[in-house]
């Protein structure tokens, strides 16, 4: 269960707060919504009372036409079940009997100007994002040629300096030092920066710099899907690094497998160019071209040809 601030939801979805339920946030455990037409008709079996309840023109018209005694009885059962909140769509006039029932059970009541289908779509997308599993990782997230690359590694290895060089080369910074990652779908992770440090970067020897102010709005982006992880480590002469790329390595974050590249760091290596190449290579693979496999195919064809001769 997560707490969704009422004012934040109202601001994000352009809602009017008719009654806030004398609380600051709404307890929710699912992004699904419910339209309570059957329940207003008296059928309360399988009532999804844990969901946000959305009232459209059909539900509001049906309530209006009900006998006042029956309507009061149905609203008592409806609001008395402990709803997270009720949202009225299409900017429909909210009758006093609905407001009184909401106040009696301290249930937040919201109003949207949008048509029912659109506000339902927007609400589900918003709740999917807000209720998504999340984790904070130490690292730097950059957008390179449209590919979201998470740079990881121990403190002081050069992640921020690499990201700064990438920004100078026309790419975009998402987050520096702390990356908030949330799982918005079965195999999709979105990364962004904590609001407090958004667009800021720490450069050792200089201090804190504002990337947006220094390089312009085109140098930053608030959120980005994470497509691959590049782990930076100091060059170890005793370690055998992959030189062909035939074997794919992966790492797992929040249950999602991501391609992983170990990036050895030593003086003289231009890490920004290597990150750019990794991004372009990732895109080529997704377009069906794998350079290492193509070279392997050519070598096998040459060997086969030599054997036949």
Please give the distance of CA 2 from its chain centroid, rounded to a whole number: 16
Helix residue ranges, H only, the chain: 6-13, 37-40, 57-65, 68-79, 96-104, 116-130, 159-168, 211-215, 271-286, 291-308
Strand-pair partners of 177: 139
What is the rounded CA–CA span in Å between residue 132 and residue 180? Answer: 12
What is the rounded CA–CA span in Å between residue 137 and residue 140? Answer: 9
| Helix or strand (DSSP H, E) at 112 | strand 109-112
What is the rounded CA–CA span in Å between residue 159 and residue 141? Answer: 9
Angle of helix 57-65 versus helix 68-79 axis, rounded to 10: 130
Residue with tokens 């992966």: 250
Strand-pair partners of 191: 181, 224
What is the rounded CA–CA span in Å between residue 233 and residue 84? Answer: 48
CB contact at 8 A, 192 and 202 = no
Catalytically annotated residues: 138, 159, 177, 243
Q: Which two tokens stand for residue 201?
A: 């970067």
Spell out the residues 6+ positions from residue 187 whose beta carbon is closer than 8 angstroms to its own. Answer: 256, 257
């Amino acid at each position: 269960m997560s707490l969704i601030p009422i004012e934040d939801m109202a601001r994000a979805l352009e809602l009017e707060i008719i009654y806030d339920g004398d609380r600051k946030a709404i307890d929710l455990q699912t992004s699904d919504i419910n339209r309570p037409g059957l329940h207003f008709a008296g059928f309360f079996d399988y009532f999804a009372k844990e969901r946000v309840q959305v009232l459209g023109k059909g539900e509001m018209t049906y309530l209006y036409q009900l006998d006042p005694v029956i309507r009061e009885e149905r609203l008592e059962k409806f609001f008395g079940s402990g709803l997270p909140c009720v949202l009225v769509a299409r900017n429909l006039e909210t009758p006093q009997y609905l407001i009184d029932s909401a106040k009696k059970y301290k249930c937040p009541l919201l109003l949207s100007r949008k048509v029912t289908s659109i506000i339902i779509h927007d609400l589900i997308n918003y709740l999917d994002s807000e209720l998504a599993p999340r984790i904070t990782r130490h690292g730097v997230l950059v957008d390179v040629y449209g590919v979201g690359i998470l740079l990881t590694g121990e403190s002081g290895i050069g992640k921020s300096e690499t990201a700064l060089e990438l920004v100078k080369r026309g790419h975009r910074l998402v987050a520096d030092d702390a990356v908030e990652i949330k799982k918005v779908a079965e195999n999709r992770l979105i990364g962004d920066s904590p609001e407090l440090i958004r667009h800021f970067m720490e450069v050792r020897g200089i201090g804190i710099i504002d990337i947006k102010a220094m390089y312009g709005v085109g140098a930053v982006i608030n959120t980005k899907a994470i497509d691959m992880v590049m782990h930076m480590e100091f060059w170890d002469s005793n370690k055998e690094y992959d030189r062909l790329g035939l074997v794919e390595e992966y790492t797992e974050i929040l249950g999602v497998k991501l391609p992983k590249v170990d990036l050895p760091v030593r003086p003289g290596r231009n890490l920004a160019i290597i990150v750019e190449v990794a991004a372009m290579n990732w895109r080529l693979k997704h377009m069906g071209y794998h350079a290492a496999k193509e070279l392997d195919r050519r070598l096998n064809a040459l060997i086969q040809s030599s054997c036949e001769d």
